[in-house]
Structure 1
């Protein structure tokens, strides 16, 4: 943020951040196939309902 805006808002420090996990996967595997699940056999077939994507946004300010 510009220093003039920081003084106007009476802030010492401001930080905006973003974190993500499993946001996008590039693969030639069929849709719905999760390579991290168990292999073929009694433990599973490598399919899952959906993959979870985690998006985290935040704002950290000091006055």
Structure 2
């Protein structure tokens, strides 16, 4: 099952290198915000932990959908 995530990169890490490593970990990037050091995309839920352990990743947050009732 694929989940949508936002990935924040540490300030001291090279953004391009960390994003490349995240892609090798299974992240499929849909959008990038280089100035904010954030990338959005999807990843298989089973690979989420590996992504979070990637060197240079500050945080990985699963996107949540909010609906009005």
Q: Which has the larger radius of gyration?
A: 1
User: Would you tell me which structure has more strand in proportion to its own residues?
Assistant: 2
- TM-score band by shorter chain is under 0.3
TM-score by length of 2: 0.24
